[in-house]
Structure 1
Amino acid sequence: MKKRMLSVLGAVALGLGGCGGSSRTETMGPGQDFPADAQGQRFELRLKGVNNPGYDSALVQVRRISVTTVEGEALPVRLKSRFPMELTQAEQAHLVGFFLVPEGVERVKVEVTFDDFGGYEEGAGGGVIDTRVAPLRFEAPLAYLSERGRAVMHLDLKQSLQMQGEAKLLLPSLDVRY
């Protein structure tokens, strides 16, 4: 079964490799999250799979994160997740990236876009997760973010992964914890 999952993900990775990475959020190495002169409070963005109905594996990869003010001004972000995230790991909240919020901003809008496809495996087989349907979106009050310095997106696997033909569609059912 694991070999089939690796084959599916390998084919998806090869297919996406030719699509160009210019739309991917800029990534920087460890310790280089933001330029030294960047201003604002730094926050983490994490993703955790919850309410697993029995998947042995559910892998997705983030393509881009966007954080803006309510007025639409883009804020500095750094994508940190370069590899597929295993959402069936109940205790793992994967680091997606970081963002800076300047002084005076009270709320931000967050959007997380996945690569086009992921993969899943369950007792009856496995296949592709079509993640093109909708990004993860939420608004976060700065007062909540400031409490622990992060937002953790809890993606409900039971409600979010719906069968459509031979693939599962990711129709996000999300709860954000601070």
Structure 2
Amino acid sequence: MKKLMLSVLGAVALGLGGCDGASSRTQEPTGPLPDFPAEAQGQRFELRLKGVNNPGYASALVQVRRISVTTMEGEALPVRLKSRFPMELTQTEQAHLVGLFLVPEGVERVKVEVSFDDFGGYEAASGGGVIDTRVAPLRFEAPLTYLAERGRAVVHLDLGQSLQTQGEAKLLLPSLDVRY
């Protein structure tokens, strides 16, 4: 069971650790790095992901590939993916930062979509395996009045309903609730 989870994690780490020829000893720039270009305008919001209603998984790991935020008319808004590593959804007190987005004045509602890497991994008392996250992305609409209250949307992903068994694998069929 642990070997299977380590294999899944190893595969995820290999996928994330692509070599670009840069030295790991390069000096980090001093001072804060801006999340958005100086010319980008709008109110900044956070997008977070939290696993809830865990039916007994010891581990449930997923990796976000892309986030998209658009106006209701389909205009793409500036986003920054902040989640670069697999997120452990069984951590009940952790709402993982997925990304940031800007919403210009005059927009009253946005559409949010979160796409995952192809596979994640899970471990339970009965065994472990892969989570197939290719089935459907997370999607929801967010009114700006709700987002403005705390500056974020926290997606509560119901693990008990979202992870459906298919053989030894689990399919991620998102059942979610968005909190502001």
TM-score normalised to structure 2 length: 0.88
Residue 13 of structure 1 and its aligned partner are, at CA, apart by 4.8
The equivalent residue for 1:142 is 144
Change (3 A) 1:94 1:15: closer
Change (3 A) 1:148 1:35: same
Conservation of the 8 A alpha-carbon contact between 2:128 and 2:168:
no
Which 10-residue stretch deviates more, 165-174 or 31-40?
31-40
Residues 76-100 of structure 1 show CA distances to partners (whole Å, capped at 9, x for unaligned) of: 0000000000000000000000000
Residue 12 of structure 1 and its aligned partner are, at CA, apart by 4.7
The equivalent residue for 2:7 is 7
The alignment's C-alpha RMSD in Å is 1.7
Percentage of matched positions with identical amino acids: 89
The equivalent residue for 1:71 is 73
**5+ long unaligned stretches in structure 1:** 19-28
TM-score normalised to structure 1 length: 0.89
**5+ long unaligned stretches in structure 2:** 19-28
Aligned residues: 168
Residue 105 of structure 1 and its aligned partner are, at CA, apart by 0.1
Secondary structure at 2:40 match in 1: coil
Distance in 1 (CA, whole Å) between partners of 2:67 and 2:11 is: 24
Distance in 2 (CA, whole Å) between partners of 1:141 and 1:99 is: 14
The equivalent residue for 1:107 is 109
Distance in 2 (CA, whole Å) between partners of 1:133 and 1:11 is: 20
Instruction: State the 4+ residue runs in structure 1 displaced beyond 3 angstroms.
Output: 12-18
Aligned pairs (5 A) from 1:17-32:
31-32=33-34
Secondary structure at 1:118 match in 2: strand
Change (3 A) 1:168 1:44: same
Residues 124-144 of structure 1 show CA distances to partners (whole Å, capped at 9, x for unaligned) of: 110000000000000000000
Which 10-residue stretch deviates more, 2-11 or 156-165?
2-11
